[in-house]
Structure 1
Amino acid sequence: MPPRKSARTTRSQKAAAAAATAASSSLDVPPVEEKEGGINMDEWEREQKYGKVPKSKTSPKNTSTSENAIEEKEPETLEELIEAEEDLSTIGYIIAHIEFHVLPNHIIQLVFLFFPVHLVYLLNQDKEEIVPYFYNCLFILIGVLVELFVITNSAWQRFKKDRQLDEPVGYSPPKIPEFGSIYTVLISLVVCLIKYPEKLAVIGGCVLQITDMALLPRVIISMIMSSQLILEYEHFNIIEIVLIPIIHAFVVYVLTEFGGKSVASYERHFFGILVVCLLFFVVPGASSQIIVIFKFLFTSYSIGFLCASPFYELYKHFANDIGGSYIFLAITHGAFYVLGCISTFKLLTPWLGETPVEWLLKFIKQDSERQLIVQCWIAFSVILIPSVFTFARFLPLDIRRKIWHYAIFAAVAYPLIVQPELTSLALIGLFGVILIVEIQRSLKLRPFGAYLSSLFEPFEDKKDKEGPLVVSYIYLVVGILVPVLLEGCTGKGASITGLVVSGLGDSTASILGKRYGSHKWPHSNKTFEGTFALFVTSVAAFYGFQYLGQNELSHNAILISSFITALIEGATDINDNLLSPAICYMCLLVVE
């Protein structure tokens, strides 16, 4: 950090000193002179008569002591530093921001996060076809840093000019992206480099959107960067270059408007990149039907959402008008559900050769094992869900929250091995149901919104109450579903990552850590005992699935991935239902 100037005497300190001097002179009190050996009787009598007054400015000893106290005081917060350093440069502000906000656990995260990143380079540096993509990654990272500096510099200069005005507008100092943005950038680039290297250019364009730039310039810069990073002409797809940045920006915008503080900025961009990968990059294999069904469902209900949004705004505007509010509420529901269903039928029926309902029933009846699994799921849901909601108030908060983690693990673990297509389809449906329920609950839409809000309240923790959305369960399903889809709905290899880490490992770590953990991570409520529990549980689960024939992962892949995931999960305060599966999936791809 650049050398700081000593903190100057503030206006309030100067005013206080002037007032004290005036009080002393108005009372005609002779200045107090210090004497060795304590306060003499004359001084005591003077204080009893006139009150305690400042010591004489002519006292050299007293003056130096007071000035040294002010000179030696260092700013304790970034706000105090900004107040003291009027001519602080942009670089100085960025370094100061890092100094005041980077904690020891952030350093721990960086060390273990850069291990798989460096390992990718070491394993591929001799492959001529991969080396150009490394340069692309470097250009993307440089682009992010340059964009960040330009935006920060502009906002900082505007803030400095504003506070020099007699009547300032009230601009705030620029915000530096959250620490979690590092995860979004690195995980996206590493996974794309390993699985879809030819798509790295368009992912790089999406990564550039992570800074707080205005929407239109952000999308345009993303398109330009994507077109410039294309290495081979046959990979140049103008539709992807134009459409992908728009879709990414659309997802980020929706999460910003409706998620509020519930969804952090880096999480919005992470979701945007996930949507882009699932819609454009996943190559349909043996389970092509499931992948295409997901794409059509997402497209259909996105259309319904876009059509319903204006009517929802009108519904809020007429909230005090009972008649008007009910009319626009009905139109909102109709636009979302009816248009979503119509679009689904219109898109899927020609491709499937029959209606989606007929196809689904036929798909289940084709195999007696599928019928048995569906029957078990229905019975499991009918028994478990009412029981949990009935007896939740008798259970500790962490137990009642983690029940859902264990439940989804129990329901999905074996079916994912024997019937991966059916399980993938069920997870897509579960994600849709949870998303619709959460929209109804968070917006308190009649007739069920208020009831759902009270029903789920016993399961909310402090983080869930920070914003309108309860994202924990959405992240849980996303963390389990995404690896399954990225692996082509085969149920093999790394597709079980989310199920192992979020469904089983994180739950066990939380319960054991809170009850038996006594050694906490720095600046965190998580314990080393919980971290160890996550590591052991994840390793045991991976080997258990391997015993059942689900995967052929190497010992190094299982041990290293579980170890890094456990350490990063313990050191971070980011939502582990989303982060932990992403870290583990990345490490499995790299090491394996």
Structure 2
Amino acid sequence: MKTFSKSQEELIKVRPNAENGLWLGLLLPIAIISSYIKYSNESSSLYRSCFLFTLVNKRYFIFPTVAVSCIFHIFNHGTFLCCYSGILSSIGFYTIYMFSLRKCPWSFTLGEALFCAQGFTIFLYSTLINLYNAIYSPLKTDLQISTIVIQVGILSVAVICYLAHTYDSLQKAFAFYIMSVIIVIFVLLLPLHLLLKQSPVLWIFGLLTKDINTLLMFAYWILCSSCATYAVSIQIKVAKKASTVIRKSFHILAVLVFLPGLLFECTFIYLASGVALGIFIILELLRNLNIPPLGTSLQDGFMVFSDEKDVGNVALTPMYLLVGCAIPLWVHPIPCDVTNSAMFNILPLISGLLSVGIGDTMASYVGKSFGKHKWAGSNKTIEGTVACMLSQFLTVYLLFKLGYYNLQQNDVIRISVAVITVALVEAKTTQVDNIVLPLLMYSILL
């Protein structure tokens, strides 16, 4: 980690009452490297490039830029890709990292900002390479098309956020919506139409209506989303701070949304998770800038559902929950099989659901309701940690009994190590559980 100068330290305000968490910077690289090592034959050339890219996006010096370029040259990736990879992995990463810490005071620990900067840098890298490849090689599978739709969509959202925060004149409602429409047309829809050689809206509609099972799954997700929206509106009306148990109920809702999707509509849940992230970011932008008609309502929701970690100017908890559930799906090189299911390798892909949706939720509920014995130096209870372990073991056993997972004898040790490690980290860490636990469990279960 590059040492901050005194002037830089004065501009950086990290989230209080938490350790620096610099070890989080290892989680995403380890997850990608582990995935590549296990699935090296099945990984695409882009994924192999991302594997190399994650090894070296750590510093802001000329030497790392040259070093990365040389590594990519050795692997015959071409001069343009060598230079692009070297510059983005060093200068680009550092710029994004410092931007996050300066523009979002008290929102991150150093480690959390490190994770977000790594993720966004890898996203930019893979997006530009994917766009370049899509121009010359037609996209063939639904998963490939979904990936490019997600990437261009999130890139469009990033452009909207950047412009809205850079130019005060665009923070007024009329100007903001006009700017957003222009970005959607010329940065999102038009490029996708040229790349796909068809309307992206019609393609998504075709994916949605291709069979009755997809329609039923979509209707089920709409029902779950409606329940969540209704619960938030009720909490706002009573104007009462939501308890930890109420907040954790959204974790269970995330499990109810993601698990059926992974089992039966893998490609669609993959696409939907990316679209949902874009929507969450836009909603947070509307709240942050108080843009009508949703700005005030979103702020009211934030006030009743925020927790002790939401002390900065950005509400990250909802996005962290979504990212925690979806990141195994995004990181895995081949998440969906030919039957459009994730059952062939379900455990790594439900790492977020197991650790955050089930384990963390049960730890919180049991710890708050029945916990009496606290861990040294922590507010977490031993009873909550035990509940975290048992609930995850029980979930895996139920998947096995229902026929969704073929449990082998050698899997027992791996699952036990993953569950116990996650439970202990949940009990002791001061970092955001929703991003720490899924990647930790994913790397062990892979």
TM-score w.r.t. structure 1 length? Answer: 0.61
Of residues 262, 265, 279, the one that matches 1:416 is 262
CA distance in structure 2 between the aligned counterparts of 1:471 and 1:573, rounded to whole angstroms = 15
Whether 1:461 aligns to 2:307 is yes
Aligned-residue offset at 1:581: 0.7
Residues 51-66 of structure 1: pairs in structure 2 closer than 5 A: none
Q: Which residue of 1 aligns with 2:197?
A: 353
Q: Deviations over 1:331-352 (max 9, x none)?
A: 2343244313431112211232
How far 1:380 sits from its partner (Å)? 3.1
In 1: Cα distance, 2:181 partner to 2:99 partner = 18
- SS of 1:292's partner is helix
State whether structure 2 residue 163 is matched by structure 1 residue 304.
no
The question of 1:224 aligning with 2:66 is answered yes
Post-superposition offset of 1:206: 1.7
Q: 1:340 to 1:304 in 2, by over 3 A?
A: farther
- In structure 1, C-alpha distance between the alignment counterparts of 2:182 and 2:420, rounded to whole Å: 47
Contact 1:527 1:570 in 2 (8 A): yes
Could you say which structure has the larger radius of gyration? Answer: 1
| In structure 2, C-alpha distance between the alignment counterparts of 1:273 and 1:414, rounded to whole Å | 30
Report the Cα distance in structure 2 between the residues aligned to 1:330 and 1:307, rounded to whole angstroms.
14
Query: Structure 2: any 5+ residue segments left out of the alignment?
Result: 38-47, 131-138, 337-341
Letter in 2 for 1:421: T
Contact 2:414–2:445 (8 Å) recurs in 1: yes
**Of residues 289, 305, 310 in structure 1, which corresponds to 2:145?**
289
Question: Does structure 1 residue 526 correspond to structure 2 residue 380?
Answer: yes
Secondary structure at the counterpart of residue 482 of structure 1: helix
Q: Could you say what secondary structure the match of 1:574 adopts?
A: coil
Query: 2:435 maps to what in 1?
Result: 578
Query: In 1, are the aligned partners of 2:426 and 2:437 still within 8 Å (CA)?
Result: yes
The residue that corresponds to 1:194 in the other structure is: 34
1:360-388 deviation per Cα after TM superposition (whole angstroms, max 9, x unaligned): 11111111100111112223333442144
Separation of aligned partners in 1, 2:69 and 2:308: 43
C-alpha distance in 2 between matches for 1:299 and 1:386: 30
Distance 2:125 2:167 in 1: 30
Change (3 A) 1:411 1:523: same
Contact 1:513/1:527 (<8 A) preserved:
yes
- Conserved? CA contact 1:191–1:586, under 8 Å: yes
Query: Match for 1:484: what amino acid?
Result: L
User: Could you say which residue in structure 2 is the equivalent of 1:262?
Assistant: 107
Q: Which amino acid aligns with 2:23?
A: I
**Cα distance change of structure 1 residues 411 and 204 upon mapping to structure 2, 3 Å threshold:** closer
Select the residue among 369, 373, 385 that pairs with 2:217: 373
Note the C-alpha offset of 1:497: 0.9
Residue 181 (structure 1) aligns with: 22
From 418, 426, 442, the counterpart of 1:569: 426
In structure 2, which of residues 76, 80, 85 is the aligned counterpart of residue 240 of structure 1? Answer: 85
Structure 1 residues 358 and 333 mapped into 2: Cα distance closer, same or farther (>3 Å)?
same
> 1:404 is paired with a residue of what secondary structure?
helix
What is the CA-CA distance between 1:194 and the residue it aligns to? 2.1
Following TM superposition, by how much is the alpha carbon of 1:471 offset from its aligned partner in structure 2, in angstroms? 1.4
What's the RMSD between the two structures over aligned residues? 3.1
**Deviation for aligned residue 1:275:** 3.1
Cα pair distance change 1:539/1:265, threshold 3 Å: same
In the alignment, is the contact (CA less than 8 A) between 2:362 and 2:387 conserved in 1? Answer: yes
Task: Give the SS at the match of 2:291.
Answer: coil
CA drift at 1:305: 3.2
Mapped partners of 1:366, 1:478: distance in 2: 27
CA contact (8 A) 1:401 1:459 kept: yes
Q: Aligned residues, how many? A: 401
Report the Cα distance in structure 1 between the residues aligned to 2:399 and 2:142, rounded to whole angstroms: 22
**Which secondary structure state, in structure 1, belongs to the residue aligned with residue 76 of structure 2?**
helix
Cα deviation for residue 296 of structure 1 reads 1.7
Q: Deviations over 1:6-35 (max 9, x none)?
A: xxxxxxxxxxxxxxxxxxxxxxxxxxxxxx
One of 54, 65, 88 as aligned partner of 1:203: 54
Whole-angstrom distance in 2 between the partners of 1:352 and 1:289? 8
Contact (CA 8 Å) 1:480, 1:498: kept in 2 or not? Answer: yes
Q: Distance in 2 between matches of 1:505 and 1:219?
A: 41
CA distance in structure 1 between the partners assigned to 2:241 and 2:158 by the alignment: 38
| Correspondence 1:3-152 to 2 at 5 A | 144=1, 147-148=2-3
Residue type at the aligned position of 1:496: I
* Structure 2 residue aligned with 1:436: 282
TM-score w.r.t. length of structure 2: 0.80
CA shift at 1:478, angstroms? 0.6
Instruction: Provide the rounded CA distance (Å) in 2 between the counterparts of 1:519 and 1:532.
Output: 11
Give the superposition deviation at 1:539. 2.0
Compute the displacement of 1:484 (Å): 0.9
Query: In 1, are the aligned partners of 2:385 and 2:424 still within 8 Å (CA)?
Result: yes
Q: Distance in 2 between matches of 1:302 and 1:566?
A: 34
Which letter does structure 2 place at the counterpart of 1:579? V
Q: Is contact 1:505–1:535 with CA below 8 Å preserved after alignment? A: yes
**Alignment check: 8 A CA contact 1:519 1:527 kept:** yes
CA contact (8 A) 1:441 1:450 kept: yes
Aligned-residue identity in percent: 22
* Compared CA separation, residues 568 and 348, structure 1 to 2 (3 A): same
Of residues 368, 383, 387, the one that matches 1:514 is 368
Instruction: Give the Å deviation of 1:308.
Output: 3.4
Aligned partner letter, 1:180: G
> Is the CA contact 2:88–2:121 (under 8 Å) kept in the aligned structure 1?
no
